[in-house]
Amino acid sequence: MHNYIGIDFGLANIGIAIGQSITKTASALITIHVNKKFTWDEFDDVINQWKPAAIIIGKPLNEDGQEQLTTKQAHNFAKKLKRRYHLPVHEVDERYSSLEAQDEFADARKQGKAKKKHGKNLDAHAAKNILQRWLDSQLF
């Protein structure tokens, strides 16, 4: 069994999810609120705890598939992750992952399975959706 880390990159928040190869399922883990200054502490904790075989990061694209400013920022962050952790880093089209996370959260609220305060973790749910797409595409 191998663990994988999924990332929804953002300048204010970075969502992190965990998934594994046997069940091919992903789960939201945490949202790192970057605020004014980014540090690697929370990432180091996640990597040390889960010991992933690879990191999967969302590649932000416009609706028509074109790259945008955030695409380059996410790509640069992916390169930093690869250098820091010496792990394979895969970029995955993340279009609609945040909208899917918002819809899932709204449904959970309607069913009484989530509270308003859980909304601050939407980025981790977007990371789960990104990682799930990647897991679904793999032949383990």
Question: What are the pLDDT digits (tens) for 19-28?
Answer: 999 999 999 9
Eight-class DSSP state of 67: B
Question: For 7, what's the count of Cα atoms within 13 Å in the CB-facing half-sphere?
Answer: 26
Counting the structural domains of the chain, the total is 1
118 vs 101, higher pLDDT: 101
- Predicted structure pTM score: 0.84
Tokens standing for 3? 């663990």
Contact 9, 2 (CB under 8 A): no
Tell me which residue has tokens 């749910």. 125
Eight-class DSSP state of 1: -
Residue 118's pLDDT is what? 47
Expressed as residue numbers, the domain containing 68 is: 3-137
Q: What is the pLDDT of residues 60-100, one digit of tens each?
A: 888 888 888 889 999 999 999 999 999 999 999 887 666 67
Separation between Cα atoms, residue 12 and residue 2, nearest integer Å: 29
39: domain CATH number is 3.30.420.140
